[in-house]
Structure 1
Amino acid sequence: MELDGKVAVVTGGTRGVGAGIARSLAAAGAQVVVCARHPPRVPVPGTEFIPLDVRDGDAVHRALSALPRLDVLVNNAGGAPHRPLARADTGHHLRVLELNLLAPLTVSLAAHAHLRRARGSIVMIGSVSGSRPSPGTAAYGAAKAGLEHLARSMAVEWAPEIRVNTLVVGMVRTDRSALHYGDADGIAAVSRTVPLGRLAEPADVGAAALFLASDAAAYISGASLLVHGGGERPAFLEAATAAPADKEP
């Protein structure tokens, strides 16, 4: 899974999952451009930073047009604060949809000509929130569901020159994990709900993104790859009073 001589863009690539993806692509030999609104506090080795708000269509087109070539686009920028639907106005929810659905479309359209010439690849960073109820982040979940559908449609419209796939990412341990899961005890408790017994690391997502971007996945397009450690143990198993069938009562 080498990317020697390839140019890759990772949106939101300055921290957390995005930085993990950028590190993996750079380690595989790619020339990696990371973009975000603010520069990284700790530069990602082997990458170049350009300031960019992916919601600004004109700025996105200028930035990508200035690149000499583009082989891999990773649409990673996104996110949303926890906020119940009725506690936010329509404007808040529209901004969530804009960042998590419309911005990846904007960036992909701006990259289309480059990627078509290079017979390149797009990797969308989706979320398990797009396939299960997401109370508190409902607009985000809806956007991620739409993003996965958008990727499948792109994979058909832009074939055979451009491959498009989605990573459906579960819970990831980053420097901002405490905002979602609480202190160390909370993170440990949440980790126990994952079949593999831990949250993902950014490097886990980076390895999966590298696979989809590489020639090892040359015949994979329109796919959704689950990166969630086996998912979530069904809550009914903890609530059920009946003894498991393979144990003595």
Structure 2
Amino acid sequence: MTTSQCMSAPAPLSVPVLEMRQVSTAYGPFKALFDVSFSVGEADTVALLGRNGAGKTTVARVASGLVVPTTGQVMIDGNDFTNVRAYRYAKAGVVHVPEGRAVFADFTVEENLTLALSRTRDRSGLRAALGRAYELFPPIAQRRRQLAGTLSGGEQRMLAMARVLVDAPRLLIADELSLGLAPIITDEVYEVLARIRDTGTSLLIVEQHMGHALALCDRAILLHHGSITWQGPSTEAAEVVGASLFDTTGQ
């Protein structure tokens, strides 16, 4: 046996769950992203940070198939999803929780959940899924018979999240979840994200405020005017960005 045969082969590199390769995106004549490249690996947690208008939401929409890039590639588990419709991203386990509340105001909490969860479940599966949703978000469990439109902003955000987080996704893209929330509600939302992370779900957390996102995530990406200006460990992000640019309290 030769020396080369005795040497063990290098371990294969894991394929990223999400990879953007030189993605540029435009809304008509307005160019929103410029050659954006990054990846989110298996069980990876990444914070995408930047001021309003930096392009963070556009990145989230491209990463979930809601916006098709002008140039570049979007890869999901090593497969080219660049021109694939959004429902295919969802079938691949990519879940996007957008900014805002996105609930049916005239339906009760339980009706909102049932509408979302019953499409792929029988009656017993639905009961189990509802139990899981209420376990994740106890405040909405107490209001299951209440009209969603009468909930507080934070409770509506929890309801919107509960509809998609019952089944731990492969990749969760969360866009500005702290927007407009009281600090105590933001704490509760991020506690749920931490539990989702601990199941092995990869996270891409889009945030303007750094505090909670950096505490949750391993890595950070800084976006400025549609371009990535820095990537690195979350422990270094606050120093790189500087306290003068962002509110680091997460409030």
TM-score normalized by structure 1?
Answer: 0.34
Point out the structure with the larger strand share: 2
Query: Structure 1 or 2: larger helix share?
Result: 1
Structure with more relative contact order (C-alpha pairs < 8 Å, separation 6 or more)? 2
Return the TM-score normalized by structure 2.
Answer: 0.34
